[in-house]
Homo-oligomer: A and B are copies of this chain.
């Protein structure tokens, strides 16, 4: 029909995004993407010469929508920055329950599935993680004065991310939020203790010898 719009492309990205989220990248076949999107083979390969190109487009979509889909949705109405952090984690908890543990963190799942392959996709996964950490880091920076002096807000944000990803993994395995909640509770307990220390103590900072920059 030679339409000027990129509707077809968008439909493919959205369909692939959802299928990769539910099934993973490798188990999702092109045929299934075509069927569920209602697009024909020729059109798909016009926009995406290879399956990996489609994956890249999906990861670019996540990169470009982390704000509205994640941050704004679960942190937007919250005022206290620390509560924003845990509101974000609660958003993931809601995702788990809403889809009965069939959907987890789409980035985390792809990160492990593609850890030894698809370098182009991997660098976009890295970008997505960086954005996430950036966001949480900013939340902590907003309460930096309440944290112990010398606290590395970025390292703390990283710790929130690792806790979230590990907690999602266990929740999906156990089909239960019990372990997720236990881990997040300990994380909150830790953050609370840092803030309590912040008003009295001096500094739990990163020990010397651990570089601040990444070597990749």
Contact = CB atoms under 8 A, between A and B. Distances in A.
Interface of A: 22-24, 26-27, 101-102, 104, 108-109, 111-113, 115-117, 122, 125-126, 129, 152, 155-156, 158-159, 161-167, 169-170, 172-176, 178-179, 181-183, 185-187, 189-190, 193, 197, 204, 206-207, 210-216
A101 to B, nearest CB: 8
B176 A169 contact: no
B186 A156 contact: yes
10 nearest A-B residue pairs (beta carbon): A162-B166, A166-B166, A165-B166, A155-B182, A159-B186, A162-B183, A190-B190, A115-B172, A175-B216, A159-B183
Contact of A115 (B173, B187, B193): B173
A175 B114 CA distance: 13
A112 B115 contact: no
Contact of A179 (B24, B104, B162): B162
A24 B113 contact: yes
Nearest to A167: B162
12 contacts: A102-B116, A111-B169, A111-B173, A129-B173, A155-B185, A159-B187, A162-B165, A162-B166, A165-B170, A166-B166, A175-B215, A185-B210
